[in-house]
Chain A
Amino acid sequence: MTAIEQEIRIFILDNFLMGREDILSNHDSFLEKGIFDSTGILELVSFLEQRYNIELEPEELVPENLDSISSLGRFLQRKLSAPLAVSAMDVSHTSA
């Protein structure tokens, strides 16, 4: 397990599984296991942005990137090694 995966695992165990380590492997789908409710997903996103000093774009909020500890680990490795890790804030404007 990489250091990033270990950090994410600890965050999820502490915040969503209340320490019950046995019920989530690193490859389990968060969606299928019902790990997050609406608030939980936002907490995860806030944790990732603050801990790794990144900003997540709407198109990055997909299961391929976020749906397990191992997919999160791979996504973060890619994101952190990209030349511009910090991108524009996720805000869009339109006129009514």
Chain B
Amino acid sequence: MTKSEQHMNASLAASHELLNIDVASETERIVTGIRAVVFQKFRRKGAVVGVSGGIDSAVVAFLCAQALGPERVLVLFTPDADSSPESARLGKMVAAALGSSSQLHDITPILHAAGCYELRDSSVRQVVPEYGAGYKCKMVLPDLLADDRYPVFYVVVQSPDGETKRVRLTAEAYRGILAATNLKQRTRKMLEYTFADLNHYAVAGTPNRLEYDQGFFVKLGDGAADFKPIAHLYKSQVYQLAAYLGVPEEIQQRVPTTDTYSLAQTQEEFYFTLPLEKMDLCLYGKNKGMPASELAPLAGLPEQQVLRVYKLIEAKRQATRYLHAEPVLMEPIPEV
């Protein structure tokens, strides 16, 4: 981990006092809610938690274990060829710390059979014709705050000899890469529900408030779940709960990544374009109606940047409304 990454995580873990919560009572509230949903509302025997090695899924697994008992939690790892080996190791660490059972299901063969990698590679080749075996890639956004740019996606490719190239995507190439990588999330969710069926369990979702609010999830992929116990918590509040619940230190220190592309990619590069602890504060400030002039010194950002983030948050909410939408019926069916 670089010094700047360590600094970022330290900032997140410390968080601003505005975002401080009473971790004991919040834990109790969530645990009571999980019990009510799983046992009473859905009458399921336990919960499946897809664990990525990141902080959010670890906290959800710990909360489920506290609510339902560790023997009623199944920790599922679903890596693919592009996943960091670290992810599975840290995921196993979560299961071991809880004493819950775990399953590892490599989804690479499913993705190969469904044409996921072929679709991704042919899409990248539309803008980088030489892209092929041994290359790695990721999608990134420019720094939207420094230059007030439009959120136009680029692909970064790294050749086998280490040379990197950054090329603006066409709409068609972007959609191809997105469809291929979304297939990974949907395959993971499909397996979570398969193991839920096998055990008569419910499926836990792991988004935090930033992800949920800003649509940073795949519809019917990681966006699908029977309950989402930390969707109301800002990212830095998730870190507070992690410390309280005793989530392994190494997971608390890990830089949040998407773990979706073959080149390592932070969530900031792909979606938020601002350090997560600052994004947390901006979302909080906007939700609480704080003027940009009031939030700016607290977030350590110029007032103009806070105004721009407020606008981007609203634009993203509008653009991702479709992801949150339930299937629409042509008329209500009151009997169900």
A61 close to B171 (CB less than 8 A): no
**Which of B48-56, B87-95, B106-114, B145-153 sits within the interface?**
B145-153
Report if B248 contacts A (CB, 8 A). Answer: no
A62 to B166, CA, bound (A): 19
A38 close to B315 (CB less than 8 A): no
* Chain A contacts for B166, CB-based, 8 A: 91-92, 94
A58 close to B142 (CB less than 8 A): yes
Report if A32 contacts B (CB, 8 A). Answer: yes
A39 close to B149 (CB less than 8 A): no
B149 close to A62 (CB less than 8 A): yes
A96 close to B164 (CB less than 8 A): yes
Contact of A34 among B162, B168, B171, B318 (CB under 8 A): B318
B147 close to A59 (CB less than 8 A): yes
B315 close to A32 (CB less than 8 A): yes
Contact of B152 among A61, A93, A96 (CB under 8 A): A61
Report if B174 contacts A (CB, 8 A). Answer: yes
How many residue pairs between the two chains, A and B, have CB atoms under 8 Å in the bound complex? 73
* Chain A contacts for B165, CB-based, 8 A: 91-94
B151 close to A41 (CB less than 8 A): yes
Report if B105 contacts A (CB, 8 A). Answer: no
Using a Cβ–Cβ cut-off of 8 Å, how many residues does chain B contribute to the interface with A? 28
Interface string of B301-317 (1 = CB under 8 A from A): 00000000001001100
A32 to B308, CA, bound (A): 11
**Which of A5-13, A19-27, A42-50 sits within the interface?**
A42-50
Contact of B153 among A36, A42, A59, A94 (CB under 8 A): A42
Contact of A61 among B150, B158, B162 (CB under 8 A): B150
A96 close to B171 (CB less than 8 A): no
B167 close to A91 (CB less than 8 A): yes
Residue among B158, B314, B318, B320 having the largest count of chain A Cβ atoms under 10 Å: B318
A39 to B172, CA, bound (A): 8
A42 close to B167 (CB less than 8 A): no
Interface string of A40-76 (1 = CB under 8 A from B): 1111011000000000001101111010000000000
Q: Contact residues of A with B, CB < 8 Å?
A: 31-32, 34, 36-43, 45-46, 58-59, 61-64, 66, 90-96
What 8 pairs between A and B have smallest CB-CB spacing?
Answer: A34-B318, A42-B171, A96-B162, A37-B319, A43-B171, A61-B150, A90-B168, A92-B166
Q: List 29 A-B contacts (CB under 8 A).
A: A31-B311, A31-B315, A32-B314, A34-B314, A34-B319, A38-B319, A39-B174, A41-B152, A45-B152, A45-B168, A46-B171, A58-B149, A58-B152, A58-B168, A59-B147, A61-B150, A61-B152, A62-B148, A62-B149, A62-B150, A63-B148, A64-B148, A66-B150, A91-B165, A91-B166, A93-B165, A94-B165, A95-B162, A95-B164
Known contacts A39-B175, A46-B170, A90-B168, then 14 further A-B pairs from the complex at CB < 8 Å, ordered by chain A residue: A32-B311, A37-B319, A39-B171, A39-B178, A40-B171, A42-B153, A42-B171, A45-B152, A61-B149, A64-B148, A92-B166, A95-B164, A96-B158, A96-B163
